[in-house]
Amino acid sequence: MTELVDATRTTGAAPAGARVSLEGLVRTYGTTRALDGFSLAIEPGEFVALLGPSGCGKTTALRVLAGFERLDSGRVTVDGRDVSKISAQHRDMGMVFQSYSLFPNMNALNNVAFGLRMRRQHATQRRQKAGELLELVGLSDQASKYPHQMSGGQQQRIALARALAIEPRVLLLDEPLSALDAKVRAELRDQIRQLQQRLAITTVFVTHDQEEALSMADRVCVMSAGRAEQTATPAALYSRPTTSFVAEFVGVSSRVPVEPVDGSVVLFGERCRIRASDTGLPNGPLDALLRPEDVAITLDETAKPFVTHKSFLGATTRVIAQVDGVAVRVDVRSDVAADIELGARVRVSVVSRDVLVAERSVTNPVSPQ
């Protein structure tokens, strides 16, 4: 337990987490608009994930917030104060990168103590604090190890301890788990989240992995082309994506044209309730937005739809059925899928009669694979 950074202590000091506001951020590199009017407001102690494909501006947003990158326009405030003119060193932010970025010539303890040395803390205090932080991330026994003597997961925990050592008011993590194998990634995901909640530190976590974002964050900001597409809680984002881009990012993989009938739609011959996004029901033609688990198939020689692809995923097999010229992806238990051959005729149905709809896409953006 570290007494020094635990948010539950009662010293009357300012709360651990800062309120952060990113307002209309624009950052260009030549003709590339890495940030193109990006805005996001973050509550004290909140954990926000920036989610989006490679190149959408996530790292740039984080670097601007940290003060490593200048802005063309827009502003960053921390607890209401404009920090644009404040250097990275004085912004009180801790950062963890994708690559471990530890100092190879320093052992774990000295890596963690590094930021404190920069802040001219006394050597004894530094060692004590660094020791507490190592305990916090469960690596007290690794204090004298050098980075090359530790696993990737251990190095990332050291990097996390180093970022937390300065008692930052904002913690910034740029794809910190992407270089790790799946098991370690899942463990560290839990550990980071628990630590963040315990310290109540305002956190921005960058990832291109939707599962990571949805499982860890209080709110997720989906980014595209330097802008925020939608910022919402994981549950709201999942059940009510407001744009097709967001829908695809949170697992929608098929779009099926449907016709509205008295406030409902007919999908695969069944009448379904409409679940529109918060922005309301779009006018004009509609598509049902479906995830593989929203659809079921059964073998039926008399049916018109047929199977065009199968890919084995382990417990489930992803099957693609052609329904009136539209590719529909379905996840089927692998033992059941073993009996479904390519070209087999199948009856396609909806699992829940409550479907997400969006304005019809002229060019079906979901690829046939």
Ligand X SMILES: Nc1ncnc2c1ncn2[C@@H]1O[C@H](COP(=O)(O)OP(=O)(O)O)[C@@H](O)[C@H]1O
State the residues that interact with ligand X by CB under 6 A: 29, 32, 34, 52, 54-60
Cβ atoms of 226 and 58 within 8 Å: the answer is no
Using the minimum distance from each CB to ligand X, give the nearer residue, 17 or 57.
57
Using the minimum distance from each CB to ligand X, give the nearer residue, 165 or 180.
180
Cβ atoms of 246 and 257 within 8 Å: the answer is no
Q: How many residues does the chain have?
A: 369
Q: Which does 56 bind (CB under 5 to 8 A by kind): ligand X, Mg ion, none?
A: ligand X
Using the minimum distance from each CB to Mg ion, give the nearer residue, 22 or 290.
22
Sites of contact with Mg ion (CB under 5 A): 59
d(CA 362, CA 176): 38
Cβ of residue 204: shortest distance to Mg ion, in angstroms?
13
Cβ atoms of 301 and 349 within 8 Å: the answer is no
Cβ of residue 209: shortest distance to Mg ion, in angstroms?
12
Amino acid at 308: T
Cβ of residue 28: shortest distance to ligand X, in angstroms?
9
Using the minimum distance from each CB to ligand X, give the nearer residue, 29 or 263.
29
Q: Which does 147 bind (CB under 5 to 8 A by kind): Mg ion, ligand X, none?
A: none
Cβ of residue 63: shortest distance to ligand X, in angstroms?
8
Using the minimum distance from each CB to ligand X, give the nearer residue, 8 or 31.
31
Q: Which does 367 bind (CB under 5 to 8 A by kind): Mg ion, ligand X, none?
A: none
Cβ of residue 229: shortest distance to Mg ion, in angstroms?
17
Q: Which does 55 bind (CB under 5 to 8 A by kind): ligand X, Mg ion, none?
A: ligand X
